[in-house]
Structure 1
Amino acid sequence: MTPTDRQESRSGGQALRTALVEAAESLRRAGVHSPRVDAEFLAAHVLGVERLRLALISMMTPEQLGEYRKLVARRAERVPLQHLTGAAAMGEIDLAVGPGVFVPRPETELLFAWALAHLEAAGHEHPPVVVDLCTGSGALALAIAHARPDAEVHAVELDSVAMGWAERNAETRAADGDTPITLHRGDVTDPGILSALNGRADVVISNPPYIPTGVVLDPEVAEHDPHLALFAGADGLDVIRPMIATIARLLRTDGVTAIEHDDSNGSQVVTLLTTHGGFTAVIEHPDLAGKPRFVAARRIN
């Protein structure tokens, strides 16, 4: 019997490495795409440490082990990891997420990085005005406000439940000292939305609903993300298509936009921006897997 085995026997707990192996195998059998990583995130959540510090912990107490196994069982039922931990990351901040709001994806970090890079390169003489359309949990808007406290950040959301999550996150970030953002409840395709900002925005970003109706999704998405935040008609462009007029109206000359899209409709988003006539430098950007992920453009008039 090893020292760890003897410790388990005395305490009724379990070696962390054993718990992780068992959890990862359970999640693998359930079809979870990243079983070991998810097992580690759940363990870190239960133990109250960063995932990278798990190597410093040898044992789980019986109470911790019981809580951990319950969370692993729910994850095996394909409940999203972020619903179980209660948080999702964007940039340098964590956001509260749960039922009724879209869980931010790692791919959207590329959109966030693009916006920051542009703000840095532009070197605005005035406080830059940033607009986040279809903000959901407030992820992009709040991450930008955290990284650029000089920015005036506005965010728009249609759904009342998602807006509640965005308001909660905005209050948390403001309490932590970040520059407050301005939240607007409304439809990003409404010709009058944010009319007070017409011609003032330096950057407009959006991660809108863009999945074509009928696409088969993983259970974590299909059963837990709100469909209003996912689907946008037969070609996935029912929100993006009319939203382009809103973007054009909000941007100042030389202002820029970036729109996340489904990997099946990036070329169509390029066409929509090009044929509008008010944009130049329309460029497709891939994600880390090489799939088309967002399109950026510059306002010319």
Structure 2
Amino acid sequence: MRSILLAEVAQATQRLADAGVPSPRHDAEELAAFVHGVKRGQLHTVADEDFDARYWEAIARREAREPLQHITGLAYFRYLELKVGPGVFTPRPETESVVEWAIGAVRAMDVVEPLIVDLCSGSGAIALAMAQEVPRARVHAVELDEGALVWTRKNVEGSRVRLHAGDALTALPELNGQVDLVISNPPYIPLTEWEYVAPEARDHDPELALFSGQDGLDTIRGIERTAHRLLRHGGVVVVEHADTQGGQVPWIFTEERGWADAADHPDLNNRPRFATARRVSR
């Protein structure tokens, strides 16, 4: 990296750190790469005379805690590059562990063309990852929020994912009893936790994708009912939740309600991140 850009990135890193940005060096370099039209590993190829002062506009936006992905317009999820912006939940790395487990579960099924439903699809990250990594899967994505649907439609265009605009709690009655796997990253933050949510999420992600009742579990309770309705006998549900809800979510999927093997699973940081269960009866 030439001297001017090196110095600017170092200064930007300090500014972002002072603003409380969790990954200041990474974000300073990503924005430098975005503004200068190169990959992050190619910053050394930017000549001094080609330094673009618009870099500081991007840094100011990130300093104000606007999400990095809203500034660049892109989010990366597993092997996908997704279009994101205001109105849609930005996919998080933690959800990649949820998808990893789900892909393994579907591959272990003796089903030629597994039927998968992604509820509360948002950007479409989960649905698209499942379609990409389980090549013969038939994947349906459900999203209610009109602001989010703008981005979902952009991302699923040209893919095998079938998008449905509608409520996850009443979706797809025509598939009742046929689905092999239901997966969801629903809203799960308690309304009482609003002030503790990071500014990137609280001020920029849609509230519909974040908050769900006083304990944060209202939507997950509804997804339990939808998943039980949609899944065939032996089908599996996978639901992401907050790391503080690990002891609560599996209890939503009880034997009395027709579930077996309800369990929690950790993310890459070994924190409880998602619950799974197998449907066994009506």
Question: Fold-level match, TM-score > 0.5?
Answer: yes
- For the pair 1:18 / 2:7, whether they are aligned, the reply is yes
Change (3 A) 1:68 1:250: same
TM-score by length of structure 1 reads: 0.88
Cross-structure match for 1:11: none
1:228 to 208, 214, 235: 208
* Total equivalences in the alignment: 278
- For the pair 1:264 / 2:255, whether they are aligned, the reply is no
Contact 1:17–1:58 under 8 Å retained in 2: no
- For the pair 1:47 / 2:33, whether they are aligned, the reply is no
Aligned counterparts, 1:102-251, within 5 A: 102-124=89-111, 126-171=112-157, 174=158, 178=159, 180-190=160-170, 193-215=171-193, 216-251=196-231
Report the AA paired with residue 123 of structure 2. S
Report the AA paired with residue 211 of structure 1. I
Q: Secondary structure at the match of 1:257?
A: strand
Cross-structure match for 2:273: 293
Per mean C-alpha deviation after superposition, the further-off stretch among 92-101 and 113-122 is 113-122
Q: Secondary structure at the match of 1:264?
A: helix
Q: After TM superposition, give the deviation of residue 58 of structure 1 in Å.
A: 5.0
Q: Secondary structure at the match of 2:69?
A: helix
Q: Deviations over 1:107-164 (max 9, x none)?
A: 001111111112222242x311110000011110012112223111001111111111
State the identity %.
Answer: 48
Q: After TM superposition, give the deviation of residue 202 of structure 1 in Å.
A: 0.9
2:19 to 16, 19, 30: 30
Q: Distance in 2 between matches of 1:254 and 1:50?
A: 45
Q: Secondary structure at the match of 1:114?
A: helix
Report the AA paired with residue 189 of structure 2. I
Change (3 A) 1:48 1:148: farther
Report the AA paired with residue 59 of structure 1. A
Per mean C-alpha deviation after superposition, the further-off stretch among 143-152 and 85-94 is 143-152
Change (3 A) 1:120 1:50: farther
Q: After TM superposition, give the deviation of residue 53 of structure 1 in Å.
A: 3.5
Report the AA paired with residue 107 of structure 1. E
- For the pair 1:65 / 2:52, whether they are aligned, the reply is yes
Higher gyration radius (CA): 1
Q: Secondary structure at the match of 2:254?
A: helix
Q: Secondary structure at the match of 1:43?
A: helix
TM-score by length of structure 2 reads: 0.94
Q: Secondary structure at the match of 2:180?
A: strand
Q: Distance in 2 between matches of 1:151 and 1:240?
A: 24
Contact 1:158–1:187 under 8 Å retained in 2: yes
Q: Distance in 2 between matches of 1:204 and 1:90?
A: 19
Change (3 A) 1:204 1:23: same
Change (3 A) 1:123 1:48: farther
Structure 1 stretches lacking a partner, 5+ long: 6-13
Q: After TM superposition, give the deviation of residue 222 of structure 1 in Å.
A: 0.9
Q: Distance in 2 between matches of 1:250 and 1:244?
A: 10
Contact 2:259–2:279 under 8 Å retained in 1: yes
**CA RMSD after TM alignment:** 1.6
Q: Secondary structure at the match of 1:234?
A: coil
Change (3 A) 1:183 1:72: same
Report the AA paired with residue 41 of structure 1. E
Q: Deviations over 1:237-259 (max 9, x none)?
A: 11111220110111111111110
Q: Secondary structure at the match of 2:218?
A: coil
Q: Deviations over 1:151-184 (max 9, x none)?
A: 110011111111111011111xx1xxx4x21111
Q: Deviations over 1:176-227 (max 9, x none)?
A: xx4x21111111122xx20111111111100000000121211111110111
Report the AA paired with residue 43 of structure 1. A
Change (3 A) 1:292 1:61: farther
Q: After TM superposition, give the deviation of residue 276 of structure 1 in Å.
A: 4.5
